[in-house]
């Protein structure tokens, strides 16, 4: 027979998974290793005959052909069946394992998998040779039953089985119990899909409801008052921790139910229940045992605050999930019970200490608040205050006096009511609230939430020493409550971000050249209590390298300082330059953004500037956190001081809106408010704002460039936003305004230059054309098949020929060269190209027409080489390549002959030759040399001697 083994103290998940295996492998029998949870026992007392259960004592192991272990793979969970496992090992019986508990850290509990792979299972017996890779299924889902359901669903349609209602019910119970009905953090979409399938198979919801939330047994009800009377609680930064120590004469089944009841009843975030039994007063021979049960749940306002119990309990020989774990502790009683040192209390204290150490510092108002705060004076009119709200999208404003002291707060509702009564001209003091609830920068998120709920207010000004420094709104709390689109709850689909320590070390390893400088900047930021972050593309590329294993270069490093005044970047840059004098500094804009440039041969590994080389100049920008406001489409943004959250929100795409903290206290913390990590894994470019492309058309080109560069797809809504922005025609009108939008024009030029310099420029242009985005430059621009051929041809030619114009400009001139000359020149002016490029765009077609009129179109009437040379020699090489590319079958053939052959023919004679022959220098020299070279090209003069004879005969010296 085939056996399915359930671990000791069987719960619904191990039973449900085992029942599923009997359908996956018909004929299998289920064995409970030892005992069951009281609720499971009560369930089986009625439903036992519906499942293929067999008593352990009824098994003749000589008839066993295979073993399947479900919902555990630690050997301690199968101690009563140890002899079976040893016999199976000796007989090389097939073993399968289905579990959703992954090993964490350096677990002290040996597993079946390690025993099989290391040959240590049964005291030196050989390893389990029959085990094949497909037999071990350990995946991070919410329940082991989910793994079995998925394999049942994967069976061929002709052999797929239908579950009985009893089987579907107990399997659904297994998923409900281990995922908290999909509310536990480890729950995944795979668990939800498995539950959906089991409902379709006939799972009975009433029975599930009855057994999933059972009441307390008589024994547990008797323990409840004692537990409530002795429970201890501790608040650590808003995290409510509780624990209770109980002593019973014997093991009490179902203590996990008591723990779950207490954590809910006492509204705790983490709870430990320690129940010792087996020791009798005055009896020193008895073994002492203790049950240790832990429960943890994430707080909705602080999802990252929950304690991961799994590694803590594994360290004492237990196991479980991050939110639910247990362990059996064993010891002995000393002779003097007043000094009992059985080790059990010590073990519990160690677990309690480990739990305390895992509770992170809570989110505070300083992290959530927006700064600077938009304010109005008391005599500001209601109408002017409303305009401020509309400009910044706020729902309330602080009212301050001439000294900046807070005197009141006014909401949008207050202003709307005043306007409805015709009081737009009245001062805001008439409708403001003067009794204002406030917070401090270190006020925790829990206290902020409590204040808002208690007083039903939507915003809390943050004061520090009486000074208004920030504002926390209801939206800030909701954003924290919802959290980013993170991997939490999707462990079967998305990977979790790397740990902060690993990210910090990865950054150190990737930036050895400037790492000492970054450490110095971080130290100064720590000293001034500023928050320092690495932001943007460097964070994206660091995470991409971790995901793909490909080392994406980190060449442009952007740092943002939060909590500092404008000019902090310059202060930090000057500190760097004082230590590393070879670093150049440039300061930009009203916010004093500092750019530091490391020369190619410079290294900051030694402050003296040793000559160890770096492959390319490395740029480091340091700026203060800021936000942007676009007064109208395609306008220059107005920039104001802000927080790191708002600084990230002003950026273009989610994958570029992540930050990595560099301060010593929280180094390596990843800030991902908008789901950039998930989008990296989904290989998606997703815009942050619905109007992003309306405000700045260069983001269209950036979106496509990133998508092509990384092999990503545009998010469907992002693509819709692009198409809408293109159809709006806003860019055409904005660019037509000429000098009114110089910054937009400069950004477009820079983006096109960057795009056309990338190796993926061709694919990027194709995708831009599919979106209609080239019409942003001019309504008639599109990528025709002929233009695409021209661009690819030019790219090949530029690899062969030297041209005094950059590659990107040659390709761009081909693109705008599809337009009429004056319009092409206008686009060149809009893109702020140099005068030579503008003139080339304007005159290119006229040059082509002139040359076409001078040369025949048929090969049979080929012109003389000297004629070709005479026509093309005065024309610049860049123009010739452009013309040849645009007319490959007419002018192209002759230009190719000129460039490849005729222009390479050296002259037979020069001015020195003429002087030697007795000719006096003068204008005649050019005439003589030109005539001789043309005859050389036509094959009429082939040697220096023949050339000299020709000159002597044709040009008398006395003329």
pLDDT digits (tens, 9 = 90+) for 310-323: 889 988 888 877 88
Distance from C-alpha of 601 to C-alpha of 613, rounded to nearest angstrom: 4
Distance CA 824, CA 814 (A): 10
256 pLDDT higher than 70: yes
**pLDDT tens per residue across span 459-496:** 899 999 889 988 888 878 877 766 544 433 334 456 67
Straight-line distance from the first to the last Cα atom of the chain, in angstroms, rounded to the nearest whole number: 120
Q: Given the structure tokens 């010590």, which residue do they identify?
A: 346
Judged against a pLDDT cut of 70, whether residue 170 lies above it is answered with yes
809 is written with which tokens?
Answer: 């400009």
227 or 362, which is more confident: 227
At 860 the pLDDT is 60
For residues 529 and 806, which has the higher predicted lDDT (pLDDT)?
Answer: 806
Which is more confidently placed, 107 or 532?
532
Q: Tell me which residue of 949, 959, 954 sits closest to 917, measured CA to CA.
A: 949
Q: What is the pLDDT of residue 630?
A: 52
Task: List the beta bridge partners of residue 427.
Answer: 381
CA separation for the pair 313, 783 (Å, rounded): 63
Question: Which residue's entry shows tokens 């399947």?
Answer: 68
Element (H, E) at 417: helix 412-420
* pLDDT at residue 773 greater than cutoff 80: yes
Q: Stretch 808-822: mean pLDDT, rounded?
A: 93
| Residue 323 · residue 185 · CB < 8 Å | yes
Q: Using an 8 Å Cβ cutoff, are 243 and 273 in contact?
A: yes
φ, ψ of residue 676 to 5 degrees: the values are -65, -40
* Dihedral angle of Cα 936, 941, 945, 949, to the nearest 10 degrees: -110
Check pLDDT > 90 for residue 793: yes
Statement: residue 89 has pLDDT above 90: no
What is the C-alpha to C-alpha distance for residues 782 and 775, in angstroms, rounded to an integer?
Answer: 7
Higher pLDDT, 745 or 227: 227
Confidence of residue 301 (pLDDT cuts 50, 70, 90): low
Give SS3 for 425: coil
Lowest mean pLDDT among 631-640, 670-679, 927-936: 631-640
What pLDDT does 109 receive?
38
Name the residue with higher pLDDT: 130 or 349.
Answer: 349
Residue 638 has pLDDT above 80, yes or no: no
pLDDT at 217: 76
Where helices occur in 77-164 by DSSP H, the ranges are 82-91, 112-118, 144-153
Confidence (pLDDT) at 857: 59
Q: Where are the alpha helices (DSSP H) in 248-358?
A: 255-265, 309-314, 344-358
Give the DSSP H/E element, type plus range, for residue 307.
none
State CA 652 to chain mean position distance: 14
User: Which residues have a Cβ under 8 Å from the Cβ of 157 and sit 6 or more positions away?
Assistant: none
pLDDT for residue 322: 82
Task: Give pLDDT, residue 107.
Answer: 39
Mean of pLDDT values over 798-814: 91
In this prediction the pTM is: 0.64
Tell me the two tokens of residue 788: 């695409």
Strand order in the sheet with 584-588: 584-588, 593-598, 618-624, 556-562, 531-535, 659-661, 670-671
Give 341's pLDDT tier (boundaries 50, 70, 90): very low
pLDDT score at 602:
40
Q: Rounded distance, CA 253 to CA 9, Å?
A: 9
Q: Closest by alpha carbon to 466, among 409, 403, 375, 411? A: 403
Quickly count: other Cβ atoms within 10 Å of residue 487's Cβ: 17
Q: At 799, phi and psi to the nearest 5?
A: -75, -20
The answer to whether 657 and 673 have CB atoms below 8 angstroms apart is yes
pLDDT band at 637 (very low <50, low <70, confident <90, very high): low
C-beta atoms surrounding 844 within 10 Å: 22
Strands 375-376 and 396-400: parallel
Nearest Cα to Cα of residue 431 among 455, 404, 409: 409
**707 in Cβ contact with 713 (< 8 Å):** yes
* Strands in 364-419 per DSSP E: 375-376, 396-400, 406-411
Comparing CA positions, the residue from 811, 693, 831, 813 lying closest to residue 749 is 831
pLDDT of residue 483: 53
Higher-confidence position of 738 and 788: 788
Res. 794 pLDDT band, cuts 50 70 90: very high
Q: Which two tokens stand for residue 459?
A: 């915003």
* pLDDT digit string, tens, across residues 831-885: 889 999 999 999 999 999 998 888 875 556 678 999 999 999 999 999 999 999 9
Cβ atoms 685, 714 nearer than 8 A: yes
Taking residues 330-344, report their average pLDDT.
55
pLDDT for residue 134: 46
pLDDT at 75 over 90: no
613 band by pLDDT with thresholds 50, 70 and 90? very low
Q: What average pLDDT does the segment 338-357 reach?
A: 76
In the prediction, which pLDDT does 30 show? Answer: 94
Omega cis (within 30) before 570: no
pLDDT at 731: 62
Q: Which of the four pLDDT bands, split at 50, 70 and 90, describes residue 128?
A: very low
pLDDT digits over 23-47, tens only? Answer: 988 999 999 988 888 889 889 988 8
Instruction: Return the pLDDT at 657.
Output: 92
Tell me which residue has tokens 């067999």. Answer: 54
Q: In this predicted structure, what is the pLDDT of residue 372?
A: 72
The answer on pLDDT for 728 being more than 50 is yes
Average model confidence (pLDDT) across the chain: 83
Least confident segment among 403-412, 744-753, 815-824: 744-753
Residue of 662, 641, 623 whose CA lies nearest to 531: 662
Which whole-number Å values give the CA distances from 606 to 24, 508, 513, 854, in the listed order?
Answer: 65, 16, 9, 65
- The enclosing H or E element of 479 equals helix 474-482
- Bridge-based pairing of strands 467-473 and 459-464 is antiparallel
d(CA 233, CA 254): 23
The pLDDT of residue 123 is: 39
């Amino acid at each position: 027979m085939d056996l399915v083994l359930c671990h000791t103290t069987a719960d619904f998940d191990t039973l449900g998974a085992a029942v599923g295996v009997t359908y996956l492998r018909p004929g299998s029998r289920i064995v409970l290793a030892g005992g069951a949870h009281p609720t499971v026992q009560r369930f089986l007392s009625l439903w036992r005959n519906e499942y293929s259960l067999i008593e352990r004592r009824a098994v003749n192991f000589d008839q066993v052909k295979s073993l399947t272990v479900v919902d555990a793979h630690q050997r301690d969970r199968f101690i009563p069946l140890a002899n079976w496992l040893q016999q199976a090992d000796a007989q090389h019986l097939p073993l399968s394992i289905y579990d959703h508990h992954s090993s964490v850290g350096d677990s002290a509990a040996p597993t079946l998998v390690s025993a099989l792979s290391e040959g240590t299972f049964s005291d030196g017996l050989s390893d389990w040779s029959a085990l094949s890779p497909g037999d071990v299924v350990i995946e991070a889902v919410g329940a082991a039953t989910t793994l079995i359901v998925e394999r049942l669903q994967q069976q061929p349609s002709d052999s797929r089985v239908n579950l009985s209602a009893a089987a579907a019910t107990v399997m659904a119970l297994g998923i409900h119990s281990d995922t908290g009905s999909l509310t536990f953090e480890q729950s995944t979409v795979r668990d939800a899909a498995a539950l959906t399938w089991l409902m379709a198979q006939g799972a009975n919801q009433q029975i599930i409801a009855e057994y999933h939330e059972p009441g307390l047994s008589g024994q547990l009800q008797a323990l409840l008052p004692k537990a409530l009377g002795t429970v201890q609680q501790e608040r650590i930064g808003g995290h409510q921790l509780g624990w209770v120590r109980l002593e019973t004469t014997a093991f009490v089944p179902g203590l996990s139910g008591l723990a779950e009841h207490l954590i809910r009843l006492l509204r705790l975030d983490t709870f430990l229940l320690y129940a010792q039994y087996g020791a009798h007063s005055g009896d020193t021979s008895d073994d002492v045992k203790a049950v240790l049960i832990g429960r943890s749940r994430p707080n909705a306002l602080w999802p990252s605050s929950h304690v991961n119990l799994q590694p803590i309990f594994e360290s004492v020989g237990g196991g479980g999930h991050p939110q639910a774990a247990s362990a059996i502790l064993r010891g002995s009683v000393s002779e003097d019970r007043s000094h009992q040192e059985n080790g059990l209390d010590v073990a519990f204290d160690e677990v309690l200490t480990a739990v305390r150490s895992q509770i992170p510092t809570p989110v505070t108002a300083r992290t959530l608040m927006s700064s600077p705060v938009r304010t109005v004076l008391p005599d500001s009119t209601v109408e002017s205050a409303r305009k401020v709200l509309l400009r910044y999208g706020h729902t309330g404003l602080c009212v301050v006096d001439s000294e900046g002291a807070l005197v009141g707060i006014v909401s949008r509702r207050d202003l709307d009511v005043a306007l409805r009564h015709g009081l737009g001209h009245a001062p805001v003091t008439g409708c403001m609230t003067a009794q204002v609830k406030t917070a401090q920068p270190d006020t925790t998120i829990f206290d902020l939430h409590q204040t808002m709920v208690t007083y039903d207010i939507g915003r809390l000004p943050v004061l520090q020493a009486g000074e208004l420094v920030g504002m926390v709104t209801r939206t800030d709390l909701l954003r924290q409550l919802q959290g980013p689109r993170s991997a939490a709850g999707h462990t079967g689909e998305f990977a979790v971000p790397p740990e902060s320590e690993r990210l910090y070390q990865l950054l150190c390893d990737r930036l050895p050249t400037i790492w000492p400088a970054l450490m110095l900047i971080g130290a100064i930021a720590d000293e001034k209590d500023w928050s320092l972050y690495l932001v943007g593309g460097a964070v994206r590329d660091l995470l991409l390298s971790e995901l793909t294993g490909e080392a994406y270069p980190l060449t442009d490093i952007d740092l943002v300082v939060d909590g500092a005044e404008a000019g902090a970047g310059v202060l930090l840059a000057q500190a760097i330059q004082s230590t590393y004098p070879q670093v150049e500094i440039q300061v930009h804009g009203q916010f004093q953004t500092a750019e530091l440039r490391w020369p190619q041969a410079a290294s900051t590994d030694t402050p003296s500037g040793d000559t160890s080389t770096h492959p390319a100049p490395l740029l480091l920008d340091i700026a203060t956190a800021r936000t942007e406001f676009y007064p109208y489409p395609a306008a220059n943004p107005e920039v104001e001081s802000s927080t790191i959250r708002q600084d990230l929100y002003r950026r273009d795409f989610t994958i570029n809106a992540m930050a990595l903290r560099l301060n010593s206290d929280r180094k390596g913390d990843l800030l991902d408010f908008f789901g950039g990590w998930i989008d990296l894994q989904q290989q998606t470019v997703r815009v942050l704002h619905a109007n992003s492309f309306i405000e700045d058309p260069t983001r269209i080109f950036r979106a496509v460039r990133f998508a092509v560069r990384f092999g990503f797809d545009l998010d469907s809504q992002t693509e819709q936003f692009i198409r809408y922005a293109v159809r709006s025609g806003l860019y055409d009108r904005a660019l037509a305004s000429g000098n009114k939008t110089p910054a937009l024009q400069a950004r477009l030029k820079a983006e096109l230059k960057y795009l056309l310099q990338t190796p993926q420029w061709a694919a990027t242009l194709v995708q831009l054309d599919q979106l209609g985005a080239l019409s942003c430059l001019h309504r008639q621009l599109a990528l025709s098949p002929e233009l695409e051929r021209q661009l690819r041809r030019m790219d090949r030619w530029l690899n062969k020929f030297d041209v005094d114009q950059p590659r990107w400009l040659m390709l761009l001139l081909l693109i705008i060269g599809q337009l009429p000359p004056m319009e092409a020149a206008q686009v060149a002016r809009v893109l702020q190209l140099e005068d030579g490029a503008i003139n080339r765009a304007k005159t290119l077609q006229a040059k082509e027409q002139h040359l076409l009129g001078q040369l025949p179109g048929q090969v049979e009437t080929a012109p003389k080489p000297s004629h070709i040379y005479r026509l093309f020699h005065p024309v610049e090489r860049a123009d010739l390549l452009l013309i040849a590319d645009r007319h490959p079958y007419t002018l192209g053939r002759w230009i190719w002959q000129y460039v490849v052959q005729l222009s390479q023919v050296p002259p037979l004679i020069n001015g020195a030759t003429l002087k030697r022959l007795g000719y006096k220098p003068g204008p005649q020299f050019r005439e003589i040399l030109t005539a001789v070279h043309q005859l050389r090209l036509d094959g009429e003069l082939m040697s220096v001697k023949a050339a000299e004879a020709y000159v002597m005969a044709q040009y008398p010296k006395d003329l």
